[in-house]
């Protein structure tokens, strides 16, 4: 990542880095959908249980994630089919915990 004045990332280099990192997993449907959901904050990973995905419950973020995933371009220049995306979104969102981590809730976390 290129740094601008005072060590702050320059917008051009940040955009280029983002594009480079997207192409690394745009070819895998599951990774592409996960990227879209996580970057739009439709899902989060529990900081204490890294294997647990939490569905935030924000319809606008989920719609934005679907739109973002439809625009991802695979290395062969094509995009994902809508039906394949819908199935993968359904699978990942259906597998995610709703709004909070159930393991943290069992521990009696007062923040929940």
Which residues, including other chains, have CB under 8 Å from residue 60's CB and lie 6 or more apart?
none
Show the tokens assigned to 20: 């480079």
pTM for the whole structure: 0.73
- Whether the pLDDT of residue 6 is over 70: the answer is no
At the topology level, CATH places domain 28-106 in Arc Repressor Mutant, subunit A (1.10.10)
pLDDT at 17 over 90: no
Instruction: Give residue 21's pLDDT.
Output: 53
In this structure, of 13-22, 25-34, 63-72, the range with the lowest mean pLDDT score is 13-22
Q: Which residues contact 53 (CB under 8 A, 6 or more apart)?
A: 43, 44, 45, 46, 92, 95, 96, 97
5, with CB counted inside 10 A (0-12, 13-18, 19+), is: exposed
Q: Give the tens place of pLDDT for each residue, 51-109.
A: 999 999 999 999 999 999 999 888 888 898 999 999 999 999 999 999 999 999 888 75
Residue among 25, 92, 87 nearest 55 (CA): 92
Is residue 16's pLDDT more than 50?
no
Higher-pLDDT residue of 51 and 7 is 51
């Amino acid at each position: 990542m290129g740094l601008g004045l005072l060590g702050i990332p320059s917008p051009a280099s940040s955009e280029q880095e983002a594009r480079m990192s997207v192409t690394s997993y745009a070819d895998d449907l599951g990774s592409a959908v996960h990227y879209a959901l996580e970057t739009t904050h439709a899902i989060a990973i529990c900081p204490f249980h890294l294997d647990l995905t939490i569905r935030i419950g924000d319809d606008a973020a989920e719609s934005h994630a679907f739109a973002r995933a439809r625009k991802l371009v695979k290395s062969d220049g094509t995009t994902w089919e809508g039906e394949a995306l819908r199935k993968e979104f359904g699978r990942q969102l259906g597998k995610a915990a709703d709004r909070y981590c159930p393991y943290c809730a069992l521990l009696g976390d007062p923040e929940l």
